Amino acid sequence: AETVALSVGRDAGGTGIYRVTADGTATELAISSGAPYGVFGAIPAVDAAGTVAFYATRDAGGSGIFKVTADGTTTTVADTAGPAFSGFGTVPSINAAGTVAFTANRKGGGTGVYTVTAAGALTTVATTDSPTFDLFGVTPILNSSGAIAVTANRDAGGAGIY
């Protein structure tokens, strides 16, 4: 079934992350008017199983990439409370295997493109530590085979989709 994910304003205040199925059924997954979330990224991502990945700030401070499975289980994919990241691009991507791709700023400096599998394994795809890239766009696109496309500025000048 076709499913979309939306970040929209709520009549009751704040914004919400919703999963909407082809028959029009909307399920509220997370809201910003009350703990734990403050602000959501504009575009959540959804996979074929109905798992939704999204960016959010936390009321208590910090930010992260989160996902909600079809059964309603919410997990943290990556966040600023851990040792690795100081901030995130606001538009993650998710594929059919449940792998989430995102861009992030590292606490030690620099930025990168990362994936986290459904089992929680973190992989560094590319970083600004290399002599190739200077800056990444906020929206990596992840396909079903695990390949990622992302916009980036090159150290040598110019930009492109890689």
List pLDDT tens digits, range 133-154. 999 988 899 999 999 999 999 9
Please give the pLDDT value at position 19: 92
List pLDDT tens digits, range 79-105. 999 999 999 999 999 999 999 999 999
Please give the pLDDT value at position 10: 87
Q: HSE (CB half, 13 Å, CA atoms) of 139? A: 7
114 to each of 3, 12, 47, 106, 125, how far by Cα in Å? 25, 35, 18, 11, 5
Global pTM value: 0.91
Please give the pLDDT value at position 1: 56
Rounded Cα distance between 54 and 81, Å, is: 17
Q: Are 128 and 152 in contact (CB under 8 A)?
A: no
